[in-house]
């Protein structure tokens, strides 16, 4: 009988990492986030455990149920290109929250960890930030590997989204046996996930911005963005990175053209382009701006699932590769 591996989902958002891990056969026993609005979306889509809303610094570590795997898509604004790049010094947006992760690891010593962050974590402060993350985890006994994965090359999702994934195991042999999933062909088109019809509020027709963008947005097979002063077309034929500030100002929401006119993607379409299932429900009492924020702040579920599947093989004694080297 195979062991059921239990996960603690920190900085859980609306549960994208949870969905990926549960699809791979893991069981969620704890989920935490500080955002109250996330709880509305999370609880609407997940059975027990529901989202525990509390500042992670105030969570009683001893009361977290027993778990073997820690999951954490910890706040990335402090490391992202879009942020001010203050890194660990940026207390305002959670740059120091990594050290709370370290405290929980030190006290509970789970078998394995998965951390997710923006690609820029790797190069932030000339590599010093990532060096601190790596050395801190190693001092806690974890053997780690890290890699930047793109949703369109590793998740078969039509979104150009690069994120760094850090996987660690207490058992060095398991770490040596682990490897990240290989690239797979992109067979999915964004057109398959966007509806021909959408509510009039999403269309720019007859609105002030329409005159500025109508000449540049001329293909139904391209995704565009309005960059405050000009239109940018995505040359790769996929959706550009969905960001947490899509709903906070709106200029980053991708734009498409169809037979009815020119419109921005709907929040539902943004979730689908993050690999969320078709039946994922969105609360009716949350604004579009909040839902855009939640979608952009989440993860690509299919990428998470593939990483989780490889972790499970290794945790059960299998091997992904024959390499001995660690990152």
Q: Which sequence positions are flagged as catalytic?
A: 76
251 burial (CB, 10 Å; 0-12 / 13-18 / 19+) is: middle
Tokens 């974590």 appear where? 121
d(CA 254, CA 262): 11
Q: Which helix (H) or strand (E) holds 166?
A: strand 162-169
- 189: Cα separation from own chain's centroid: 20
**Cα angle 136, 140, 141; round to 5:** 120
Upstream peptide bond of 49 is cis (omega within 30 degrees of 0): yes
What residues contact 172, with CB distance under 8 A and at least 6 apart? 143
Nearest to 21 by CA among 325, 315, 322: 315
CA of 63: how far to CAs of 28, 30, 69, in Å? Answer: 15, 10, 16
Question: Does an H or E element contain 256, and which?
Answer: strand 255-258
The neighbour count for residue 228, using CB atoms within 10 Å, is 8
What are the phi and psi torsion angles at 176 (to 5°)?
A: -70, -30
Beta bridge pairs of residue 203: 263
Measured CA to CA, the distance from residue 256 to residue 223 in angstroms comes to 5
């Amino acid at each position: 009988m195979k062991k059921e591996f239990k996960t603690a989902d920190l900085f859980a958002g609306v549960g994208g990492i949870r969905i990926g891990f549960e699809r791979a056969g893991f069981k969620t026993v704890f989920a935490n986030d500080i955002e109250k609005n996330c709880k509305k979306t999370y609880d609407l889509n997940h059975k027990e455990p529901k989202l525990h809303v509390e500042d992670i610094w105030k969570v009683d570590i001893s009361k977290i149920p027993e778990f073997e795997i820690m999951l954490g898509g910890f706040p990335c604004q402090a490391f992202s290109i879009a942020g001010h790049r203050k890194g660990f010094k940026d207390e305002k947006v959670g740059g120091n929250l990594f050290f709370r992760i370290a405290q929980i690891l030190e006290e509970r010593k789970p078998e394995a960890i998965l951390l997710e962050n923006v690609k820029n974590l790797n190069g932030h402060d000339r590599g010093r930030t990532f060096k601190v993350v790596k050395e801190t985890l190693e001092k806690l006994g974890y053997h780690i590997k890290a890699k930047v994965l793109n949703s369109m090359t590793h998740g078969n999702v039509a979104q150009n989204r690069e994120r760094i994934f850090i996987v660690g195991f207490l058992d060095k042999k398991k770490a040596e046996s682990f490897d990240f999933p290989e690239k797979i062909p992109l067979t999915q088109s964004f057109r398959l996930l966007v509806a021909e019809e959408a509510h009039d509020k999403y269309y720019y027709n007859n609105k002030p911005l329409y005159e500025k963008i109508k000449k540049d947005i001329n293909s139904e097979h391209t995704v565009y963005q309005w960059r405050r002063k000009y239109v940018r077309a995505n040359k790769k034929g996929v959706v550009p990175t969905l960001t947490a500030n899509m709903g906070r100002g709106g200029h980053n929401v991708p734009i498409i053209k169809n037979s009815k006119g020119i419109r921005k993607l709907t929040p539902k379409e943004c979730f689908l382009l993050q690999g969320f299932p078709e039946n994922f429900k969105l609360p009716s009492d949350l604004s579009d701006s909040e839902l855009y924020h939640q979608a952009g702040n989440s993860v690509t579920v299919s990428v998470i699932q593939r990483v989780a599947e490889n972790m499970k093989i290794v945790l059960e004694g299998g091997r992904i590769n024959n390499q001995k080297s660690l990152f």
